[in-house]
Amino acid sequence: MKAVTLLEKGKIAIKDDYNPERKLGEQDVEIRLMACGVCGSDVHYYTHGRIGPYVVEKPMVLGHEASGQIVRVGSGVTHLKVGDRVCMEPGIPRFDSAETLAGCYNLDPELTFFATPPIDGCLCETIIHPAAFTFKLPDEVSYYEGAMVEPVAIGMQSATKAGIRPGDIALVYGAGTIGIVTALCALAGGCSDVIIVDMVDSKLEVAASYKNIHAVNARTGDLKAVVDDLTGGAGCDVVFECSGAGAVVTGICEHVKANGTVVLTGIPLELPPFDIAAAQAKEVTFKTVFRYANMFPRTIRLIRSGALDIKRLISKVFEFNDAVAAFERAASGTAGDVKIMIDCSKI
Ligand code: ZN
Per residue in 112-124, pLDDT (tens digit) is: 999 999 999 999 9
Q: Where are the domains of the chain?
A: 3-148+310-343, 155-288
User: Which amino acid is residue 228, in one-letter code?
Assistant: D
DSSP at 119: B
Q: Ligand 1 centroid vs 114 CA: distance in angstroms?
A: 10
Q: Regarding the domain with residue range 155-288, which homologous superfamily does it belong to in the CATH classification? A: NAD(P)-binding Rossmann-like Domain (3.40.50.720)
Could you tell me what percent of the chain has a pLDDT over 90?
94
- Evaluate whether 29 touches 80 at the Cβ level (below 8 Å): yes
Ligand 1 centroid – CA 149 distance (Å):
10
pTM reported for the whole predicted model: 0.96
Each residue's pLDDT tens digit, 246-272: 999 999 999 999 999 999 999 887 888
CA 35 to ligand 1 center in whole angstroms: 14
Q: How far is the CA of 177 from the centre of ligand 1 (A)?
A: 9
Nearest by Cα to 255 from 278, 288, 276, 277: 278
| Ligand 1 mean position, distance from CA 64 (Å) | 6
pLDDT above 90 (res 131): yes
DSSP labels, 265-315: -S--SS-----HHHHHHTT-EEEE--S-SS-HHHHHHHHHHTSS--GGGEE
CA of 173 to the centre of ligand 1 (A): 18
Q: At what angle do helices 143-162 and 177-188 cross, to 10 degrees?
A: 70
Task: Give 52's pLDDT tier (boundaries 50, 70, 90).
Answer: confident
State the Cα–Cα distance between residues 335 and 207, nearest whole angstrom. 13
Bridge-based pairing of strands 126-130 and 193-198 is unpaired
Q: Which fold has domain 3-148+310-343?
A: Quinone Oxidoreductase; Chain A, domain 1 (3.90.180)
Distance 54 CA to ligand 1 centre (A): 15
List the beta strands (DSSP E) in the chain.
Answer: 3-8, 11-15, 28-38, 50-51, 54-55, 60-61, 65-73, 85-88, 91-92, 112-113, 126-130, 134-136, 169-173, 193-198, 213-217, 236-241, 256-264, 285-288, 314-319, 339-343
Ligand 1 centroid distance, CA of 40 (Å):
6
